[in-house]
Structure 1
Amino acid sequence: MQLSVTNSPFSEEQATQINQLLSTLTPEQQVWLSGYLTANQQLGTAVVAPEAATANATTASTSIGTNDTHEITKPRAITVLYGSETGNAQSLAEVLDARLTENGYTVTLSSMDAFKTKDLKKVEDLFIVSATHGEGDPPDNAITFHEFIHSRKAPKLSGVRYSVLSLGDESYEFFCQTGKDFDARLKELGGESLVERVDCDLDYDEPADKWMNDILHALSGPQDNRDVVSESHTSVQSAKEKKYSKSNPYEAEVLENINLNGRGSNKEVRHVELLLDNYGEGFEPGDCLAILPENDPEIVTQLIEVLNFDAQAVVTVDTNGTEVTLEDALTSHVEITKLTKPLIQKLAELVDDSTLSTKLAEDGWVQNYIEGRDLVDFFTDFAVTQLQPQALVDVLRKLPAREYSIASSYKANPDEVHLTVCAVRYEAHNRERKGVCSIQFAERVQPGDTVKMYLKKNPNFKFPFDEDKKVIMIGPGTGVAPFRSYLEEREELDLKGNTWLFFGEQHFTTDFLYQTDWQGWLDEGYLSKIDLAFSRDTDEKVYVQHRIEENSATFYQWLEEGAAIYVCGDEKYMAKDVHEAIRRVVEKEGHLSEADAETYLTQLKTEKRYQRDVY
């Protein structure tokens, strides 16, 4: 049969070329070409050997012509879903997608809020990467999927193979809870665990890499002896090493480090400017800067003395066998100022104090003990005689990077990046306590010094750059940082109007962070409206949530006109209070029930019109 535009999907030119080619082929060559095209369609872009293609063609022709049972097995569809608050889970899901694709698999990658829940019943192989937010809650973009899969509407998943990678922080009581929830529910629905769930602490690169390797091995099956992992060029580490990262930090010179608060303030907020000389990568408002901090030398010395260790003893600090002195390890490599339940359990195996075993058996003792204490407290409270420096370093987790919202615009200052850092100081258990990174900036870093850092994208906190789009920004304290970045960029782009800022602090005279910036943008029209709440300037404390409700009608009008809400700052109190205030506004002005108002806000989140960067 001659191909034409009427009996095939080809253009006239293509049909002519194919007819000319087919007329020159032997029957064997035609069979081979048929098999090649069939196999290529099923296996992606993998090159198929002639003999394999011929075999495929023979099988295909046999099954089509005779209804023989030897049919070509269709590859299972792979779905990768992620629930991400700050972008870590998303970046890992993207690496998994790349590795699977490199190995010839067809993958659907999606955030959980973009995934159509009705398609869950069509899933064959499902891999979930999810962070846990706050006290065991799913990230904002995972809430709807989390609720669906735990509802009666969730379909039975017999025949579905799955695995879960959980991201969390061991210092929280409900460590990796969202990932655990997904894992348990998928099993309840009849799914088959292809690879055991992996729970990752803050230093997640190695366990995440192993999880991906295990998935590739499991998918290849016992009949396939290829080392699929070695064929993949993309790993968590290699993906990060293409740019600056925790394993490959950039050393930035400090240009400015000034106190933003006035004399007499209860707070010390530092404005830090770092030089990005030939960094090679830009950033957007809403992105973060990760700082690799150092522990306070005073705490390091106290810990070494209480253990009676030699500060110059040599220890290894990673799987590559990197050797450093104990003093260096405790300063730059491991966390020593925060205790976690898993760490206490590991330390219990290293100390000689029988009272610790008794305490561990008491319900709730560990959670109460670790609050506000560090390693110096622990080794002061519990006796140890046989502990060796290497054994201690081995059980401590890596010193995590500290992430700060960027407070400047890349378009306005391409060679700089600005941070807004609040110095953390408090007293607990008869000792003064200090924030690791914030006090490094407040007390030990001067202009001309360098700090190790890398940029970190935040895909879930992205601003619009449409002059007609209304934007409501709620950022008390240092939560105002990304809004400074946003307005600085709007000024650079000359986008005026439709912006409303809610800012709060303790005192107007000493704590109005970046006051001249806001006033200038207000005067020039880049900022349309600003509402302030200084809690200690009035007899009755007033916070940003009160200002929101005071402006109830206008706030709701902005929402109805398509405004997007951005909230940045404290998660434990502020973000919850602000959310409740916004819900009450929607109830009142929209004449809705509490449940319907909550549904309204959920829809805003789905539409990316309610975004939060809370911590």
Structure 2
Amino acid sequence: MSVPAALATPLSEDRLAALARVTDGLDAHALWWLSGYAAGLASRGAVPAAVAPTGAAEPMPGARLTVVYGSQTGNAKRVAERLAAQGEAAGLAVRLLRADAYPLRELKDERALCLVISTQGDGDPPDDARGFVEFLSGKRAPELKQLRYAVLGLGDSSYPQFCAAGRKLDERLAELGATRLLARADADLDIDSVAAPWLEQALAKAKEALKPAAPLATVTPLRPLPAAPAHGREAPFAAELLLNQRITGRGSAKDIRHIELSLEGSGLHYEPGDALGVWPANPPALVQAVLEALRLDGGAMVEHGGEALPLRQWLGEKRELTRLARPFVARHAAHARSDELNRLLAPDRQADLARLLGEAQVLDLLLRHPAAWSAEELVAALRPLTPRLYSIASSRKHVGDEAHLTVAHLEYVNAHGRRWGAASHLLAASAEGARLRVYVEPNERFRLPADGGRDVIMIGPGTGVAPFRGFVQERAAVGARGRNWLLFGNPHFRTDFLYQVEWQQALKDGRLHRLDLAFSRDQAHKVYVQDRLRDRGRELFDWLEDGAHLYVCGDAARMAKDVHAALREIVAAHGGKSAEDAEGYLNALQQQGRYARDVY
């Protein structure tokens, strides 16, 4: 290991050389261990001459439980952290790794492995697990006859490929000779109803599989665990709304809001690339319409899961009404005795079901297929209301104790009346001074380069531009020397150029070095950001070859796939590579942390 001369250090040359000898050849896990140990020594203010911690040495792979997660929005990470914490509390040696940090060469030696993985898009693994999944799926994957494993898949049953990533991993590990500790479980958005019993069973099976011949050693932590923040997903902060401003022009088909929230006194911190979780509430008019459609009393007390609340409060604050899910369609088909709905649930009608789930809300289903529900049955059948994540559009170094968001307000009229998105409507309809329940969702996969001299390429059409506003603010605040290139697209220049004045000023000030625009409806043929990428292919490839970091934010279903295809074409054309090698080039960038996506 070499230490750059420009890096300030309190160590002498002799000590730097000794440090280089100690760390030479250590893998990522060992380096993290070493950094934690050093932090623990620093916190005590003294460093002993010789160190021989008992019970704290890295266990052999056969004596530990490895927990690996692949997470797009943080849910899989939270579940994996719970499993790791419970394992440690039970006396197991546990290591917890994000999938892209897992040393693949060690897989052949693993004895107990638990995988928690989400599914995104059309059955795809999260970005941080792509390399892990590709390795397991490929010819280089070793036989794993010694491995005992368990898989928990997380997903959304509204999508046809529900928990497909977890299912594929589970089947592939079995093909490689591994033995299941317990059957795979698939969790819908109501994660805990499936995850909690799976965690309990997985831990019990892991303890049995790892049962040592002698009593487990007592493990002394090398450093105190960081205190949990006062506010998080289950204990959100009531943030004051400082500004709610529409930033699309008159005549635009889109209602995009710039939202500013105060985090003063919350203790919440975020980095550019993180998201803000917003706990929504269903619009009162929608709640009332559901009550009227089912002829139910909103004041009736309903007990569910040990909690008793009026039905109106359940529907307004605790249950999903704006997102329709397959399990509820199935339950309603039984209540309504609907042959039409039952046919829609058949395996060969997945596309039609997906269309219904994407276009209709709970109220639409109730009106199209009338049926009787009791208040208790309805609360039990509806999915729990979940927070919505929005990419943070600001840098704390620039805005202080605030978090800015760029929010597309979902509001439309269908054959049955007006419909809204739960969180976007809450944000858009709230007046300045209102309090909104929020928390920070870290996104370690979407970080600016540590080296401020690196160039960055940011591709963010529509509200996908949000994190890049924070990126540019951050880079200016820290005096980063690297260049910033933004590619932005939307339907019309005149009405949909989000943050136009800010970007133009950033160009003038030198905070933004290049801006390419794609307004798809301003000419006879549609032009998208992927078309601009192809137009600028030579320059883009040169930036990448010079070490630039590449970021994509926005729609996963179409935009992100089209952009990835364009990038592959650019690398093939300007790098003289085959399509397969170009894909490998992009995969390598991703593994190096130089190609990051925040897609939804």
1:167 aligns with 2:162: no
Contact 2:458 2:486 in 1 (8 A): yes
What is the Cα deviation at residue 458 of structure 1? 0.7
290, 294, 300: which one pairs with 1:313? 300
Q: Which residue of 2 aligns with 1:437?
A: 423
1:452 aligns to 2:437 (yes or no): yes
* SS of aligned partner of 2:302: strand
Alpha-carbon distance in structure 1 between the residues aligned to 2:133 and 2:173: 11
Q: Residue 96 of structure 2 aligns to a residue in which SS?
A: strand
User: Matches of residues 148-159 of structure 1 in structure 2 within 5 Å?
Assistant: 148-159=135-146
- What's the secondary structure of 1:121's corresponding residue? helix
Cα 1:369–1:585 change in 2 (3 A) is: closer
In the alignment, is residue 283 of structure 1 matched against residue 263 of structure 2? no
Candidates 570, 592, 598, aligned match of 1:607: 592
Instruction: Name the counterpart of 2:258.
Output: 271
Corresponding residue for residue 31 of structure 2: none
In the alignment, which residue of structure 2 is the partner of 1:213?
200
Picking from 576, 590, 595, the partner of 1:591 is: 576
- The question of whether the paired residues in 2 share the 8 Å contact of 1:473 and 1:502 is answered with yes
State the AA in 1 paired with 2:423.
Answer: C
Q: CA deviation at 1:148?
A: 2.4
Contact 1:372 1:429 in 2 (8 A): no
Q: Say if 2:562 is the partner of 1:580.
A: no
State the partner residue of 1:555.
540
Q: How many angstroms does 1:98 deviate by? A: 2.9
Which residue is equivalent to 2:318?
333
Structure 2 unmatched runs, 5+: 1-51, 212-217, 220-224
Question: Does structure 1 residue 324 correspond to structure 2 residue 309?
Answer: yes
Counterpart of 2:115 in structure 1: which amino acid? I
**Between 161-170 and 556-565, the greater mean CA deviation after superposition:** 161-170
2:484 is aligned with 1:517: no
Matched, 1:105 2:92: yes
**Separation in 2 of the partners of 1:83 and 1:506?**
34
The residue number in structure 2 matching 1:86 is 73
Residues in 1 aligned to 2:55 and 2:262: alpha-carbon distance in whole angstroms = 50
Q: Kindly report which structure 2 residues correspond to 1:77-476, keeping only aligned pairs within 5 A, or say none.
A: 77-205=64-192, 207-221=194-208, 242-317=229-304, 319=305, 321-351=306-336, 356-357=341-342, 360=345, 363-364=348-349, 366-385=353-372, 387-428=373-414, 431-442=417-428, 444-476=429-461
Cα distance in 2 between the residues matched to 1:547 and 1:41: 57
Give, as a single letter, the amino acid of the residue that structure 1 aligns with 2:411: R
Structure 1: tracts of 5 or more residues without a match: 1-37, 46-72, 225-230, 233-237
Q: Deviations over 1:328-350 (max 9, x none)?
A: 11111100122222222233444
1:528 to partner: Cα distance: 1.2
The answer to whether the 8 A contact 2:268-2:439 is kept is no
Residue identity in the other structure for 1:374: Q
**Structure 2 counterpart of 1:511, which letter?**
D
Aligned to 2:222: none
Kept in 1, the 8 Å contact 2:329–2:341? The answer is: no
Give the Cα separation in 1 of the matches to 2:92 and 2:486.
Answer: 47
State the secondary structure of the residue aligned to 1:478: helix
Q: Residue 466 of structure 1 aligns to a residue in which SS?
A: coil
1:207 Cα offset (Å): 3.5
1:87 deviates by: 3.2
Say whether the 8 Å CA contact 1:311–1:325 is kept in structure 2: yes
State how far apart, in whole Å, the 1-side matches of 2:379 and 2:240 are: 30
Q: 1:461 to 1:86 in 2, by over 3 A?
A: farther
Q: Percent identity?
A: 40
Residue 559 to residue 356, structure 1, CA distance change in 2 (3 Å)? closer
Q: Aligned partners of 1:203 and 1:491: how far apart in 2?
A: 41
d(CA) in 1 for partners of 2:63, 2:78: 24
Shift of 1:287: 0.2
- For residues 515-571 of structure 1, give each alpha carbon's deviation from its aligned partner in whole angstroms, at most 9, with x where no partner exists: 122122222222111111122222222211111111111111100000110000111
The separation in 2 between residues aligned to 1:501 and 1:355, in whole angstroms, is 48
- Deviation digits for residues 441-499 of structure 1 (CA, Å, limit 9, x no counterpart): 22x21101111111110111111243310100011111111011111112222324411
- Specify the code of the residue in structure 2 equivalent to 1:389: A
Seen in structure 2, the aligned counterparts of structure 1 residues 89 and 564 have a Cα distance that, compared at 3 Å, is: same
d(CA) in 1 for partners of 2:578 and 2:489? 29
Say if 1:553 and 1:123 are closer, same or farther in 2 by CA, change over 3 A.
same
Count the aligned residue pairs: 537
Q: Whole-Å Cα distance in 2 between the matches of residues 256 and 223 of structure 1?
A: 55
Query: Could you tell me how far apart the structure 2 residues matched to 1:293 and 1:42 are?
Result: 44
Q: Does 1:485 align with 2:470?
A: yes
Structure 1 residues 504 and 247: CA distance shift in structure 2, 3 A: same
Q: Give SS of 2:257's match.
A: strand
- Moved >6 Å (runs of 4+): 42-45, 238-241
Tell me, in whole angstroms, the C-alpha distance in 1 between the residues paired with 2:83 and 2:490: 43
Distance 1:345 1:533, change over 3 A: same
CA distance in 2, matches of 1:281, 1:198: 33
Instruction: Work out the CA distance in 1 between the residues paired with 2:497 and 2:112.
Output: 53
- Aligned residue for 1:141, secondary structure, equals helix
User: Aligned AA for 2:391?
Assistant: S
Query: Does the C-alpha gap of structure 1 residues 509 and 384 become closer, same or farther in structure 2, counting only changes over 3 Å?
Result: closer
Between the aligned partners of 2:566 and 2:167, the Cα distance in structure 1 is 31
The structure with the largest alpha-carbon Rg is: 1
SS of the equivalent of 1:142 reads helix
